[in-house]
Structures are given as structure tokens and as C-alpha cells.
Amino acid sequence: MKLWSKGFEPDKMIEEFTVGADRELDLKLARYDVQGSMAHIRMLESIGLLTKDELEVLLKGLSEIAETIERGEFTIEPGVEDVHSQVEFLLTSKLGDVGKKIHSGRSRNDQVLVDLKLFMRDELRSVAKAVERLFECLQKQSERYKGVLMPGYTHLQVAMPSSFGLWFGAYAEALVDDMQMLAAAYKIANQNPLGSAAGYGSSFPLNRTMTTELLGFEALHYNVVAAQMARGKTERAAAMAIGAVASTLGHLAMDVCMWMCQNFGFVSFPDELTTGSSIMPHKKNPDVFEIMRGKCNRLQSVQNEIALLTANLPLGYNRDLQLLKDIIFPASTELIQCLDMAVFMLEHIRVKENIVDDPRYDYLFTVEEVNRLVLQGMPFREAYKKVGLEVQDGTYKPVREVKHTHEGSISNLCTKQIAEKFSKVAAQFE
């Protein structure tokens, strides 16, 4: 069954090529299709295109379909093109001609759009919740290990003292910026396109404000052409936000892989959380973080794939846009899996203490010595030169003390303030 059927069927090869994996992907949209249809028919009844009795019958039928979806029993039957066709087919089979009335005043274009908006809105909320779980884990570990010093690097050379509190806390605050990206994408998704029809509106007196309120959208896509132009833009914004989170998480994964290396030896994990080698009995590999790093790198390419798919398309709907689902649908799922795996692993991390006591890290404290001399009254350039000459002639002796008190430093992590920043952004998803 096809919503556009005019008494003929396309060639089977054409149908298989154009439909692709749409039936499988559309199962993710089923609940949102029913949700959108229920709002739409309530609006149709309010403008006289359905009677009150017809509305009650249709709402009951759609509610029954929604129940099968929640139970995992909903399927798209062979020969049925997509989820929209399946829902309408089920209604018509059970209710007769009244089931055919639900499509008045809309096109499959705005039907797909509203499904995708509702879906992306929920997916972005789910990603934000997963980010929050990792944020809380990082903050907890930041406080737990705030007194444990570690080397800080620039150019991958030993530079200045850092701490595990600073390291964990850095990634926590980086996630605040990523949440801003997610919140921006959420706002773009949280606009109602229903009623834009095929992209040029309808001669029916549709009440689009009513469906906006019924579906809980923050705003309406007013211009009907702009509503159709949002197809691809919503997915691209979501992909950019997903890529931002993936970038932070991939960077963290790289750090862990490096810190686990015996040349560093800063962290370790229980044996059961590592993997081994088929030939080297001593190996305990960071495969989880390597796979996480790889997945996060791949997730950062999603926005480029969407950009290329949607580049220079002519105005209005084009079938190319169907392929967006293949790209964006798996991305949020994979990112959430990576975020939750990161939480699981970091809850079991083992941090090595007294790292900086090793003589190889003597020069970590040169800047501390320069600053100590400056505080005693010596000009900075003179102090810098003095300590530099001591390093050159081998007379430099480190004082392994760190006194960093300003906001965001080793001894003043501002964990509470960072949590407040995060909470303000997270509130935008409520």
C-alpha cells in the first residue's frame, strides 16, 4: 500500500532501490507518527473536517496502534511503503472510510518532518542525559583525586604540575560547552512543521498553533517553505552537537590510552576490564578506550556526510533527504553507548599516586621556583634566567610544593561553580 497510489505499481526493482532500509528505520518513528496524527485529527475536528464521533473513533484506533508499538508488536508489513502508510492502512482496515480522513490537510512531507522533529527532540534529550551521567562521574572523580599530582604537558613534553582533579574536572567543564551545542540543536528540533503540507501550505483553515501546543513544541515553523527547508538542517545541527560531545569523549579516550601505557603508567584498570594478546602473555590492552576513540572519530564525520548529502539541493522536498535517516539515526545511539561505557570504566579507574616523586619529573617545578623568587621581589625575567641557568648547569633542585589558589587551579577546582553552569544548560531540555 502506498499513500501516493494512483492505480499502478512501480517496477519491483525501482521500489526496492527507492525504499531501501526505510521500513526498518521507520520503526523508530512509529510512536511519533501516531502522536503527530492524534494532534492533527484533534485539530481537524476543531475546524469542522471531522465530527466529534469520528474523532473519538480515530483516537481510539490510534491509541490501540500506540499500544502495539509500546509492546514491540508493531511491524511494517511487506508491500507497505513506510510507517505512515502502515498506520493509515491499519486504521482503514479496522475503521473503514473514516480512517482515510486523517490525511486531510497534510502531506507525507510534513508528516515525516513532524515525526523526525519529535524523534530528534527525544534523542537529543537522551544524549543530554547520558552526557549528564558522565559529567557527574567526572566531577566525583575530580573531587576524589584533587590532591593527587600528575605531570602536565605541552607539546607532549613535561611542562608544569597538574593533578587528577584538574584532569577529570577539565573534561567535566568541556562537557558544559558540548551541552550548549546539544541545547541549540534541541531548540532547532523543537519547532512544529505540521501544516506546511508539501511545503506550500493548504487551502484548509488549519490551526497550526493548536498542533504546536498539543505536541509540546516550543515554537512554530511559521513560513511553510522554511518548514520544509528545515529537513536536513535539524539533522545537521544534531550531528554537529553529537560531534562536539564525541570530540571531547574521543580526546578523553586518547588520554586514558596514553596514561595506561607503561611509559606513563598513570592509571590502570581491573584485569577484567582490559583485553590481552594472543602471543604476548603480559599484555593488558585498553581496547575499550581504543574502540571508543575510533567510534568518536567516526561520529565526528556525520555532520560532513549530512552536509554533502544536502549541499545545493533545489528548493522543496527532494528524495535525497530520505537518506538522512541512515546517517543520523545510528549516531545518537552509538554516542550514548560510548558515554555510558566511559562512565562504567571511569568508575573503576585506578589512579597512581606519588607520580611526580620520580626524578624524571624534576623540571615540572621550575615555574613554581620562578614564581617563588618573583614573590620574594625578584623581577620575573631575572628569576626566569636564574632558574634556567640552574637547569643548564645541573644545579637546579626542585621543591615539590604546589600553591595554586586562583579559580580553576589545582587547589581551587571550582567544582560547585562548574556544576551550576552545567545545571543551567541542562534546564533548557526540560
Q: Convert the pLDDT of each residue in 321-348 to its tens digit.
A: 888 999 999 999 999 999 999 999 999 9
Q: Are 192 and 220 a contacting pair, CB within 8 Å?
A: yes
Give the rounded distance of the alpha carbon of 22 from its chain centre.
22
Q: Could you report the per-residue pLDDT of 160-175, keeping only the tens digit for each?
A: 999 999 999 999 999 9
Which residues are identified as catalytic? 155, 277
Contact 196, 228 (CB under 8 A): yes
pLDDT of residue 4: 44
Cell 511519533 found at: 32
**Average pLDDT of 170-193?**
97
Where does the pLDDT of residue 9 fall: very low under 50, low under 70, confident under 90, or very high at 90 and above?
Answer: low
The predicted model gives 235-246 an average pLDDT of 97
State yes or no: pLDDT of 1 exceeds 60. no
**β-sheet bridge partners, residue 237:** none
What local confidence, expressed as pLDDT, does residue 430 receive? 80
Residue 274 is predicted with a pLDDT of 82
Tell me the C-alpha distance between 289 and 274, whole Å: 10
* Residue 316 confidence (pLDDT): 82
Residue 5: predicted pLDDT: 52
DSSP strands (E only) in 263-343 = 267-268
**Which backbone phi and psi does 79 adopt, to 5 degrees?**
90, -15
Q: Which amino acid is at 64?
A: E
CA-based R_g, the chain, Å:
29
Q: Are the C-beta atoms of 191 and 220 separated by less than 8 Å? A: yes
pLDDT at res. 137 = 98
Task: Cell numbers for 64, please give them.
Answer: 490501540
The answer to whether 290 and 345 are in contact (CB under 8 A) is: no
Instruction: Say if residues 284 and 270 touch (Cβ distance below 8 Å).
Output: no
Contact 111, 84 (CB under 8 A): yes
Query: Do residues 345 and 273 make contact, with C-beta atoms less than 8 angstroms apart?
Result: yes
Residue 6: strand, helix, or coil: coil
Mean pLDDT within 378-400? 95
8 Å CB contact between 30 and 74: yes
In tens, the pLDDT along 347-357 reads 999 999 999 99
Torsion of CA 97, 99, 101, 107, to 10 degrees: -130
Q: In whole angstroms, what is the distance from residue 365 CA to residue 161 CA?
A: 7
The residue-averaged pLDDT of 372-377 equals 95
pLDDT tens-digit profile of 129-154? 999 999 999 999 999 999 999 999 99
DSSP letters for 218-264: SEE--SHHHHHHTTTHHHHHHHHHHHHHHHHHHHHHHHHHHHHSTTT
Q: Tell the residue number behind the cell numbers 492505480, with chain if given.
A: 7
d(CA 116, CA 28): 10
Superfamily of domain 109-143+168-356+417-429: Fumarase/aspartase (Central domain) (1.20.200.10)
Interatomic CA distance for residues 82 and 105, integer angstroms: 19
- How far apart CA 82 and CA 109 sit, in angstroms, is 13
pLDDT tens-digit profile of 262-301?
999 999 999 888 887 667 777 788 899 999 999 999 999 9
Of residues 12, 350, 366, 341, the one with CA closest to residue 157: 366
**What is the chain's mean pLDDT, rounded?**
92
Q: Identify the CA nearest to 86 among candidates 15, 205, 2, 25.
A: 2
> Residue 58 pLDDT more than 70?
yes
Predicted pLDDT of residue 277 = 64
For domain 12-104, give the CATH superfamily. Answer: Fumarase/aspartase (N-terminal domain) (1.10.275.10)
Residue among 124, 321, 336, 119 at smallest CA distance from 233: 321
Percentage of the chain lying above the pLDDT 70 cut: 94
d(Cα 17, Cα 13) in Å, to the nearest integer? Answer: 6
Where exactly are the structural domains of the chain?
A: 12-104, 109-143+168-356+417-429, 358-393
Q: How far apart are CA 235 and CA 229, in angstroms?
A: 12
**Phi, psi dihedrals of residue 424, rounded to the nearest 5°:** -65, -40
**Residue 49 grid coordinates:** 473536517
- Provide the pLDDT for residue 320: 85
Q: Quote the cell numbers at residue 348.
A: 573503576
Beta bridge partners of 350: 268
The whole-number pLDDT of residue 93 equals 93
